[in-house]
Amino acid sequence: MTLSEILQARGFVNQFSSETLAEITDGEKRALYLGVDPTAESIHVGNLAGYMLLRHFAEAGHKVVLLIGGGTGMIGDPKPDVERPLTPPEVVAARADKLTSQARQLLGGVELEVVNNADWLAPLSLIDFLRDIGKHFTVNALIKKDAISARLGSEEGISYTEFAYPLLQAYDFWHLFREKGVTVQVGGSDQWGNITAGVELIRRKEGKMVYALTLPIIVDKSTGKKFGKSEGNAVWLDPKMTTPFEFYQFWLNASDESVEDYLKIFTLLSLEDIASVVHEQRENPGARAAQKKLALEATAIVHGRGEAEAARDASDVLFGVAELTPETAHALRTGAPMQKVAEGDALADVLVLSSLASSKREARQFLDDGAVLLAGAKTDGGRLIGSGDFLEGVAILKRGKKHAVVLVLQK
């Protein structure tokens, strides 16, 4: 299959500025870039599709560049609803360093060049910028961009700082075109206006044709919600912010309606292998073969095969797929979330400590409803932790079907 066929079959394509996608992907080998602003200390799963897109381009022989927005991160891409708070320069710089290291680890198997736009935006003269770049943009065109238009219609309005953001992103494209020979910029569908601003700037200043390619917004088909949100919290790729076990569980809980899409975008499995596991899933939905494959492969890409297998083994024990034995207790100790407890601790207190309940009142309600299992047995509100609950120093505490923690007995 050609790269254009692969990208379309896997669901990576939303809009592109050429007449055909093949014009961008299947002819000459190009240099392309993806830009990421350091708005947090880590990449989250909402960003991951863009990195996977870079992998497919790199494996097809194209040169890929990741731009960390150390400069644009000082300004902030306009959100449709509210002005972003300005982040201190030292925080932006520290985040940029972390994202650079994380990207190199994530895309370690491909040739990747990482650049930081603070290197060319920070020294830029305001007068030169307004003369050389601002002259090529009309206010009429800028106010038609979705985020800016939405903000102009709101009570809060938009500051000139964020209003100028598309010019900075366009400058990035122009700079990389001149310095690195970059002719394609990729990004999320919400970046279409910013990316095409760069396409137009290069056409006006250089008389050259470059291209824009955006990914679709990925949604959970079962809920219609934007992909990447779990109970309102982002799922991070940094293991200190979202553990490999939690990361594995996020994918394991993918809906049946969306799991095929996620396999195509967030794993490197062949389309043939994906079709096979999806067929298996349809034959026996209860076994959740597709979700298990997705969780293992996506976690392996981000955290490594060893961490992914440890998370899988711990999950199997924690949620009853495998029995708790002296051998599987090791998997729990190495791969699952743990809470230290002492003999005689009240179970209601332990539920709160382990985040299985938000308060003692909620914990007692769960206990009264019979929703809590300790060592496989339902418990009541007066239950205390006992040494007989533990095997090899560990016990499984569950609340409902999807929430569990490993208890470790302190001596």
β-pair type (403-409, 338-341): parallel
- 38 and 166: one domain? yes
Mean pLDDT of 342-351: 91
**Quick check: 230 pLDDT over 60?**
no
β-pair type (211-215, 372-374): unpaired
Per the DSSP assignment, residues forming a β-bridge with 188 are: 215
The CATH number given to whatever domain includes residue 293 is: 1.10.240.10
Helix (H, G, I), strand (E, B) or coil at 364: helix
Q: 125-152, pLDDT tens digit by residue?
A: 999 999 999 999 988 888 887 778 888 8
- φ, ψ of residue 406 to 5 degrees: the values are -95, 125
**Quick check: 258 pLDDT over 60?**
yes
Considering the domain boundaries, does residue 332 fall inside one?
no
Mean pLDDT of 360-379: 88
- 202 and 344: one domain? no
Q: What is the dihedral sign for C-alpha 11, 12, 16, 21?
A: negative
What is the average pLDDT score of the chain? 89
* Residues 6+ away with beta carbon under 8 Å from 341: 350, 353, 385, 407, 408, 409, 410
Q: Report the alpha-carbon angle 118-122-126, nearest 5.
A: 140
Number of structural domains in the chain: 3
- 200 and 238: one domain? no
Considering the domain boundaries, does residue 223 fall inside one?
no
Q: 194-215, pLDDT tens digit by residue?
A: 999 999 999 999 999 999 999 9
Considering the domain boundaries, does residue 36 fall inside one?
yes
- 174 and 257: one domain? no
- List the one residue out of 365, 398, 359, 361 whose CA is nearest residue 380: 365
Q: Which of 191, 215, 239 is the last residue of a domain?
A: 215
227 pLDDT band, cuts 50/70/90, is: confident
Written as one string, the DSSP assignment of 366-384 is HHHTT-EEETTEE--TT-B
Q: 380-410, pLDDT tens digit by residue?
A: 777 888 888 888 888 889 898 888 888 988 8
CB 375 within 8 A of CB 410: no
β-pair type (211-215, 15-16): antiparallel
The CATH number given to whatever domain includes residue 106 is: 3.40.50.620
Residue 160: left if φ>0, alpha if ψ -120 to 50, beta else—which one? alpha
Q: Which domain holds residue 76?
A: 3-215
- 354 and 209: one domain? no
Considering the domain boundaries, does residue 362 fall inside one?
yes
Q: Which of 187, 215, 243 is the last residue of a domain?
A: 215
* Other beta carbons within 10 Å of 153: 10
Q: What is the dihedral sign for C-alpha 65, 66, 68, 73?
A: positive
* 140 exposure class (CB count in 10 Å sphere: 0-12, 13-18, 19+): exposed
d(CA 194, CA 39): 17
- The whole-number pLDDT of residue 375 equals 82
Q: Which of 215, 239, 263 is the last residue of a domain?
A: 215
- 253 and 272: one domain? yes
- The whole-number pLDDT of residue 247 equals 93
Considering the domain boundaries, does residue 222 fall inside one?
no
**Quick check: 295 pLDDT over 90?**
yes
The CATH number given to whatever domain includes residue 375 is: 3.10.290.10
Q: Which two tokens stand for residue 297?
A: 């492969």
- The whole-number pLDDT of residue 275 equals 97
- 248 and 121: one domain? no
- The whole-number pLDDT of residue 8 equals 97
- 237 and 300: one domain? yes
Considering the domain boundaries, does residue 29 fall inside one?
yes
Torsion, Cα 145 146 149 151, to 10 degrees, reads: -130
185 pLDDT band, cuts 50/70/90, is: very high
Q: What is the pTM of this model?
A: 0.86
- 363 and 243: one domain? no
Three state DSSP letters for 235-260? CECCCCCCCHHHHHHHHHCCCCCCHH
Q: 39-92, pLDDT tens digit by residue?
A: 888 988 989 999 999 999 999 999 999 999 999 988 888 777 777 778 888 998
- The whole-number pLDDT of residue 276 equals 97
d(CA 301, CA 55): 11
- 17 and 111: one domain? yes
d(CA 37, CA 224): 26
316 pLDDT band, cuts 50/70/90, is: confident
- The whole-number pLDDT of residue 78 equals 76
**Quick check: 158 pLDDT over 90?**
no
233 pLDDT band, cuts 50/70/90, is: low
**Quick check: 264 pLDDT over 90?**
yes
- 31 and 163: one domain? yes
222 pLDDT band, cuts 50/70/90, is: confident
CB 110 within 8 A of CB 58: yes
d(CA 104, CA 17): 29
Q: Which two tokens stand for residue 291?
A: 């979700």
**Quick check: 232 pLDDT over 70?**
no
- 153 and 17: one domain? yes
Considering the domain boundaries, does residue 133 fall inside one?
yes
Considering the domain boundaries, does residue 99 fall inside one?
yes
